[in-house]
Each structure stands twice: as C-alpha cells, then as structure tokens.
Chains A and B, each alone.
Chain A
C-alpha cells in the first residue's frame, strides 16, 4: 500500500510540474507575441469561472472529450493503438440523426433508443479493425485510420442524399425531434442528462478495471501482449471485447453530444473528437478517472482560450502549444525518474 501511495504521489508531482512548466511556456509565448500578454494570460486562466454560462461551456465541451478519451484509453491500456474514434463519432452521428428525426415514442424512450442504437453501431464498426487485428494481426493503427476516411465518405454521402433538409442552406439534416433530445439538468446551460451518463460510464469503467478479471486482463495485456494467451483467455476474444467496448463508448459520446448540443446534424467534416480523445487518454494516463479529469482540464483550457481570443489579439490556436507541452511532459517519464533518482541519492529506497 505504501508503495502505491509513493507512486501516486510521484505522478501527482509530475502532473503539477507539467502544468507549471506549461503555464510558464504559455506566458513566454504570450509575452513574445501579444500586445497585452498579462491580460490575455489572466483571461485564459480565469475567464471560464467568471460566468455561469462560460462554466457551462466547459462542461458541455468536456462531455464528448471525456467519452472519446474513455474510448481511446481502453484501447491504449490494452496496448492497441487504434485511432478509429474519429470515424465512429461521425458514423454514429449519422445513425443518431436517422433515428432522432423520426418519431419513436416518448421523451425518455426515444433518446434511450437513439443512444443505444448509435452506441451498438459504434461498437460493431470498431470490431472491423478489431477483427482483422485479432485474427490476422493487421496493423490496427493503419486500418482504423483508413476506416475514418471511409466512414466519413459513406456518412457524408448518406447525409447529402438521404438526410439533407432541402429547406436550409448548407448541408444539414432535418431537425432532431424534441423527444430525442436530452433534458437540460442545469438551467441556463446546455448541460444535459448526458453528463449523468458520463459519470455512470466513468464509474463503470473504473469498476471493470478495479474489480473484474476482464479489467485485469486488459491492463496486463497492455503491459505484456502475450499475457492473455498465457492466462487462458484468447487474445482474439480480448481484442474483440476491447474494440467493441471502445466503439460503443465513442458511439455513445457522439450521440449524447449531438442530442445535447445540436438541433440538427451539420458535420461536413470529421469532428476531431477521435484525435482529441487520444490526447485526453494520454493526459489521463489511460485511467478512467484520469480521462475524466483530463477532459475537464482540456475543455477548461479550450474554453478559456476561446474567450481570450475574442477579447485579445491572441488567436485561439495558441492553445495547441499549451496542450502539446502538457501532453509531452505528462507522457514522458523523466520527472518521475528524476524524483526517483533524487530519492535514491538521498539514501531512500527506490521503487521500480
């Protein structure tokens, strides 16, 4: 137990150091490029807290990021580098649209059905890459990336030819029915029941990791990919289960996001949540609660930079610098190594 605490302590120190360094670098960049660096810096850091609406924006944006992050972290944790979340977000969005624009019962039942269908579909789609990886060892990174573009092409084709609402300009579907949309739980924001769903999901994944054999297998396979084989479970089954779960979560994230924040489907490009999910997973160290916190942090940062961009001369893309510094410092283990070395030099025990 003491060992675990020390490891957790080291990780917390590492994350705080990373945040500290990222903030210093941000300030330096602003000093170099902005006319009013300190004003911009304070906007970036504090603006989301100044109004309820802004803080609502943080949570609203956090929800799809967290779903995508949970989806990616499941795969990464089991050592699978699949980046197909992007395409699944899009195609599950199309499924959501098909069902959300049709009358299918009352408020609760309709949205439940839409989300379930989109999630199941996402899970099945993820199994395509999963199947070829599990059975034939086809590089899942490559197949999933190819699938992203293919799914987008198919989805956009369906949108343009079958779902397009001719009465609006641009490519957009017919409006979602009110019965499909999720209920707002905090007034004056767009925070919906989707947030509760996210909390439940995060808890479930945490439970699976912590308390079930499957969770243990996922973690151990990530550390040593032959583990599943030795311990009696087939690598095939594990890979398929992990892919299905990951796709299921991504599909759910897409559906929840659309039914919370959109009136109709308007994505005419891949939405970017799949790749952002990879960032969230990395920041959260492939841990469900880590992903939840990382999604909040990333969303806070992006909301802050968005507000900053509106009131200063700094473009919103500046946030990419902060994000990269954070991700790289958190995924690199040199701070932890440094802490260990310091401890070893001081005569303490080193926990490897």
Chain B
C-alpha cells in the first residue's frame, strides 16, 4: 500500500495526469460549446479519430508537423460541418448523425490507412512528424513544479489556454451570448433576429475544431503514429465529462481532470499486480457515480 502511495505523490504522476487529460479536455470543451448551443455533438470519438489520421498523413507527406496539425484541424471542422449540415438542414437527428458518423469513422480511417500504407493496424511505415514539446522558461527551474508543468507537448498548453479562451468566448463575446441564447430558447433567440441555425452551425464547427486538436494530439503528441481506433473511448468520456460539468467551462475542466487522475491512478495500479481489467474500469465507474450523484442532488433540490 505504501508503495502505491509513494508512486502517486511523485511529480511524474502529476505530469502524467496532464498528459492523459489533454485529449479529453479538448473534446470536452468542444462538447461544451455545442451543448451550449443546444446541439450536443456526440461524434467526438469519430471526429478525433479522423483528425488524428489526417494529421499523420499530412505531416508525413508534407514533412511538416505544422501542416499536419492544420490538416487535422481542418478535417475536424469539415467532419463537424458535415454533421451540422445533416442535422440542421437535412433533418437527421443530431444524436443519430453522431452515432452513424462515429461508426463510420472507425472503419473509414482503416480504409484510408490501408489505401495509403497497405497496412490496417497502424501508420508505422509513414515518417509522420510529431508536434514538439517545450520547456517553459523560468517555471522549468522551479523544483517539483517545473517537473510537473514543464516539458509537455505544445498542445498540452494549448488545451489549458483553450479553457480560458472558451470561457471568455462564451461569456464575453457576441458569439458566446448568441450561442447561449440559442441553446436556452431558440424561439426567443430567433425573435430578436439571431440566425439560430447559423449559430448552431458555428458552434458545431468550433467543437469540431477542438476535437481536431484532440485528434492531432493523440497521433502527433501522445503517440507518434496513427493506430486503429486509437481514441479508445476518450471522445465518449469527454461527453460524459461535459455532462457532469453541466456544460460549464470550469466544472467540465475539473471533471476532465478527475478522469485524468483516475486514468493515471489506473496506469500506476496496473503495474502493481492488481487485475488490469478491473482497474481500467475505474475512470468509467467514477464518471458513472459522478453523473448519478449529480442527478440525484439536482432532482432532490428541484423538489424541495
């Protein structure tokens, strides 16, 4: 027991939390934006997966990590724009479109991977680029703190900065006000001249952009290649985190970190001969309990 505890208070453990939380945080923030606009984007899993493949392919052929990142973001936005078009203009329910696109992405990425590399498992044969890590000046010199916060992939910092950026966007800008108005009462928003569908379209595209960041981080930061189904449920966890955070930026961020903490604990415990099958369910149990506790409290509060 003491051994485990010793492993959990090391700077390396806290460093790992930031590392594993990043993709979830991106996707969860994306879901926050779309939920605020009243159209929950549940295609996070598929968007991230497609974007992560796009990043790898573009960076391998252009020999530039930056172009890879741009491609991943572009694909993330296009993927969401497609879903937005289907649900807002062609009448597919957004949840249905999301489910279909997630399933589609899982096979389609393998198809594309096979077309480019002849492999179905991973993109190891491609010389894809990685988005670099950076040492933070000054912070790097502080003992413990430096070890935890410095030396991460650039996208880890981008994720942390997006928390602030999205908070400001939602609360201080015209677009943010419109998004919230549309989500709370579309009819009222329309009556004051807000173009409801256009705002929802924009919100979905923004959520796709964030999923694109998450996807690029997975294949060009967290790992250095694309592997089949590499998002492995992170998109779903992100949606859960956003649901638990009631689609608010700060609570969602905290919930994403909670998941990251449980994942990191799981990773440590797995090395300790505790059955890994049960350990890997830990974060999911945590999210499940979190949602239930929140709902119970809300319904009790509503009644009294």
Contacts and interface: CB of A to CB of B under 8 A. Distances in A.
Given A146-B288, A154-B278, A332-B92, A275 B108 contact: no
A320 B106 contact: yes
A136 B86 contact: no
A139 interface: yes
Contacts of B277: 153-154, 156-157, 160
A136 B298 contact: yes
Contacts of A196: none
Contacts of B102: 275
B61 interface: no
A138 B291 contact: yes
A227 interface: no
A128 B243 CA distance: 18
A149 B281 contact: yes
Q: How large is the interface on B (under 10, 10 to 19, 20 to 34, 35 or more residues)?
A: 35 or more
A135 B114 contact: no
A141 interface: yes
A154 B101 contact: no
Given A150-B284, A150-B288, A317-B110, A136 B100 contact: no
A143 B100 contact: no
A320 B287 contact: no
A161 interface: yes
A280 to B, nearest CB: 11
A333 B92 CA distance: 7
A149 B284 contact: yes
A66 interface: no
Contacts, number: 131
Contacts of B86: 328, 332
Nearest to A138: B295
Given A328-B92, A333-B91, A315 B97 contact: no
A40 to B, nearest CB: 13
A321 B284 contact: no
A137 B299 contact: yes
Contacts of B244: 142
Contacts of A156: 277
B90 interface: yes
Interface of B: 42, 86, 90-93, 95-97, 99-104, 106-108, 110-111, 114-115, 120, 233, 236, 239-240, 243-244, 275, 277-278, 280-281, 284-285, 287-288, 291-292, 294-296, 298-299
Interface of A: 33, 81, 83, 132, 135-139, 141-143, 145-147, 149-150, 152-154, 156-157, 160-161, 275-276, 278-279, 282, 315, 317-321, 323-324, 327-328, 331-334, 337
